[in-house]
Homo-oligomer: A and B are copies of this chain.
Amino acid sequence: MHAEILDVGFMNVVFPKGRIKYTGKEIEPLWAFNMFDVQKDSIVAFRGGMEVKIENMKDLKDVKEEGEFKIPIKGDDCIHFIVEHFDNPDLKMIYLRQRILICIAKDTIESFGVKLDREGDDLYCNGKKLSVCIATRGVSSAKIHLGINVNSKGIPEHVEGIGLEDIGIFDIEEVMRKIAISYAKEMEKIEKDIRKTAPLY
């Protein structure tokens, strides 16, 4: 698939040409390689709908609670971030990174003059849910999916959702690009920090 691919330190930032609907298979290992030939750690950012069937969900708490709904994670227009790292076989690592990605998303959106709240890996605006997020891993890589609603169309009725446009943010492309690039820069800076730190003896 065609995409704009940036080198940001040890990561690739990938902006596919055209929209992609998130269905849950994008969280599979090596999706970025298979789609865009990237052979670095990566963050792929794109816009599109979202429709994750119950059998593709990785958050088993959601599976339990939302089991009555057939397609509990849904939205007609979102921006998506798919992160993949290959560096440490511990699931905790990707959850720490997930929180950093969420904090970066929050800061980026707030720079447009709104105020959000973060609870764990969820973003809210005035108590309404702005995002969905999951982190998980396979044998060789760890993955994050973050989806941020552009508007609230198509969001399941039992979720009180809100989108970026609902809070007055219309430069969706810019938000998307800034979050992706900031995340890659943050990871790069951490790698650099590690390499200037005296350990303790």
Binding site for B on A (CB under 8 A): 10, 27-30, 33-34, 37-41, 57-61, 64, 86-93, 95-97, 99-100, 103, 106-107, 118, 120-121, 134-141, 143, 186, 189-201
Q: Do B198 and A121 have beta carbons less than 8 Å apart?
A: no
| 4 residue pairs, one from A and one from B, having the closest CB atoms | A138-B200, A139-B199, A103-B103, A96-B96
Chain A interface, DSSP helix/strand/loop, else mixed: mixed
Q: Do A193 and B139 have beta carbons less than 8 Å apart?
A: no
CB distance from A112 to the nearest CB of B (A): 13
| A186-B120, A189-B120 as given contacts; A199 in contact with B137, CB under 8 Å | yes
Closest B residue by C-beta to A40: B195
Could you say which residues of chain B place their CB within 8 Å of the CB of A34? 60, 64
| A91-B140, A120-B193, A195-B39 as given contacts; A30 in contact with B201, CB under 8 Å | no
CB distance from A178 to the nearest CB of B (A): 14
| A96-B97, A136-B200, A139-B139 as given contacts; A88 in contact with B91, CB under 8 Å | no
